[in-house]
Structure 1
Amino acid sequence: MPFTHLDIGGPVATLSLDHAGGNRISFDMRVELREAVQQIEKSPARALLIRGEGGDFCFGGDVRDWPGTPAEILRPKIQVLAEALDHLERLPIPTIAAVQGGCMGGGFELALSCDLILAARSARFAFPEARVGIVTLQGGMMQIAERVGSAKAAEMVFLSEPASAEQMRHWNVVNWVVDDAEFESQAAALAARLAEGPTKAFAATKALWRMQAEQGVKAAKAKLYDVSMPLFETEDARTALRNAAEAINAAKPLPTAIFAGK
């Protein structure tokens, strides 16, 4: 049975986790996630929304598959999710994790691999790996340290205590916290807004951020104009700049730009 559902019916791609009992990431679900990200990259989607069916976003890896499995067999099966998340981070379009209920372990790493996190007020975040004597297997310990610093990261990773959505917003892990009743509509509205944005500029921004993370600020700045100047040749930028210049000359407010992703 499928454990994920991918909808690319318009400019927003929606990837839904659907595994009864907390959307735990089984071995088969890892493969589905990797294949879904590959499909999204090849699609015309201009934004991606990742969400969970049921009351929880994702409780992380399905550890029921793990006991008694030799490490040499377990490693390639677990590593599939790391490959999926690395590919997710490299997508040129904006990505949003819409988190409700439990967001634990690998599910938390999935959310951290997105550009933005919108959380319902009910959301709870944790890394429970230390409770079973392992580490965050997709690099969550490093992802969270980048957001909150090493001291707070140690607190979360070592103690495995859940943190509220508001606490995560205060620590700059979550971008927005909304009431549960408005959660679905707010997530859809945010994804639609990003899908209407300057797709080419978003892709350039993400490419430069990735370069900064991998090679440092100096290397990213050295490539800044190589990446940014071609934007001036895009249809979107040419049209928006021309309309802005005309509005300034006429002493009018800047018009709202319409971006076609071209």
Structure 2
Amino acid sequence: MAAVEFEHDGDIARITLNSPPQNRLGNALVQGLTAAMMDLAERDDTRALLLCANGPDFSWGGDIRNWKDISHQAFGETIAQGLQLTNMFEDLPFPTIVAVQGQCSGGGFELALRGDIIVASSDARFGHTEATIGAFTLLGGVQRVADRIGRTRALQWAYTAEMVDAADAFDIGLINEVVPPEKLEKAANAWLQKLGSGATRAHAVHKNLLRTWSTAGVKAADALIPKLAEQIHASADLQDNLEDAIEAVVAGEQRPHFVFKGK
């Protein structure tokens, strides 16, 4: 049984963590995720990705069983590899949706935070559990919670290792949608189809601008806009629909629903 299932159907991709019940980020799962990310990085035909998990829980985080008998340097190198992997996921130039059920903690929570859209079942629980063993959020979780909802909650959750249920996570803006457990797959697929058929090139620009804003601020993001505008103006997504959009403006009508090629 593969620890990670990866499929690419047309222009839609799906990655499934398949090491239940805890889906811990051990060697097999990390290797499977890395192979999937390498494949996606080499393609130019992906328009959206869904990351989900089999079993009752999304992921309990890292597999700490292999932490005991390695050197401090080797541990640091292992974490560097994990950061490289999660950075690849975060930097994919198309929308990414994460579907979460049950426990989503430690490195599993940090992986989910790298997605663009998080859809959770009502039984989902999120938390930084690292401090319970004297560690910290090794895959960049605390700063990404801060980026999404602010420093106050980020520090609180990292300090206390409390688990936050899906309803509270939604209310404070950490996640995008909460649905009953039996509707999670349908809701995640709805996001996948909606974003996967949208303006893919524009979505990539929005991700780029927000990443730049997160690391360097509003002015740095603004500085990218003219060059990015040139690229978007040359895209089929924009050019193929401009004539009809202009006609709608002239007629004083709402623009029609456009079909995008993702190019």
The TM-score by the shorter chain falls in which range? over 0.9
* Higher mean C-alpha displacement, 24-33 vs 11-20: 24-33
What does 1:124-135 correspond to in 2, within 5 Å?
124-135=125-136
Instruction: Report what 2:121 is aligned to.
Output: 120
Instruction: Report what 1:21 is aligned to.
Output: 21
The yes-or-no answer on 1:243 pairing with 2:244 is: yes
CA distance in 1, matches of 2:161, 2:155: 9
The yes-or-no answer on 1:37 pairing with 2:44 is: no
The yes-or-no answer on 1:158 pairing with 2:159 is: yes
* Higher mean C-alpha displacement, 131-140 vs 204-213: 204-213
SS, match of residue 223 in structure 1 = helix
Report the count of equivalent residues.
262
Deviations 1:12-52 (A, max 9, x none): 11010011221001023223222211211223110011001
Aligned residue identity for 1:228: A
Aligned residue identity for 1:257: F
* Higher mean C-alpha displacement, 76-85 vs 137-146: 76-85
CA distance in 2, matches of 1:64, 1:180: 30
CA distance in 1, matches of 2:133, 2:76: 17
* Higher mean C-alpha displacement, 106-115 vs 245-254: 245-254
CA distance in 2, matches of 1:233, 1:148: 35
Deviations 1:67-100 (A, max 9, x none): 2322222222233221111111111101111111
CA distance in 2, matches of 1:252, 1:213: 37
CA distance in 2, matches of 1:10, 1:95: 16
What does 1:1-262 correspond to in 2, within 5 Å?
2-43=2-43, 44-262=45-263
CA shift, 1:230, in A, is 2.3
CA distance in 1, matches of 2:145, 2:223: 28
Q: Contact (CA 8 Å) 2:123, 2:181: kept in 1 or not?
A: yes
Q: Contact (CA 8 Å) 1:34, 1:80: kept in 2 or not?
A: no
CA shift, 1:251, in A, is 4.2
SS, match of residue 49 in structure 2 = strand
CA distance in 2, matches of 1:28, 1:121: 29
Q: Contact (CA 8 Å) 2:110, 2:141: kept in 1 or not?
A: yes
CA shift, 1:185, in A, is 0.8
Aligned residue identity for 1:24: R
Identity of aligned residues (%): 34
Q: Contact (CA 8 Å) 2:20, 2:57: kept in 1 or not?
A: no
Q: Contact (CA 8 Å) 1:58, 1:108: kept in 2 or not?
A: yes
CA distance in 1, matches of 2:250, 2:164: 52
CA distance in 1, matches of 2:14, 2:30: 17
Structure 2: gaps spanning 5 or more residues: none
Q: Contact (CA 8 Å) 1:204, 1:228: kept in 2 or not?
A: no
Q: Contact (CA 8 Å) 1:4, 1:18: kept in 2 or not?
A: yes
CA shift, 1:125, in A, is 0.4
CA shift, 1:154, in A, is 1.9
Q: Contact (CA 8 Å) 1:147, 1:171: kept in 2 or not?
A: no
Aligned residue identity for 2:151: S
CA distance in 2, matches of 1:193, 1:121: 22
Q: Contact (CA 8 Å) 2:198, 2:260: kept in 1 or not?
A: yes
Normalised by the size of structure 1, how large is the TM-score? 0.95
CA shift, 1:108, in A, is 0.4
SS, match of residue 117 in structure 1 = strand
Structure 1: gaps spanning 5 or more residues: none
Q: Contact (CA 8 Å) 2:49, 2:96: kept in 1 or not?
A: yes
SS, match of residue 173 in structure 1 = coil
Normalised by the size of structure 2, how large is the TM-score? 0.95
Aligned residue identity for 2:237: D
Aligned residue identity for 2:12: V
CA distance in 2, matches of 1:147, 1:258: 31
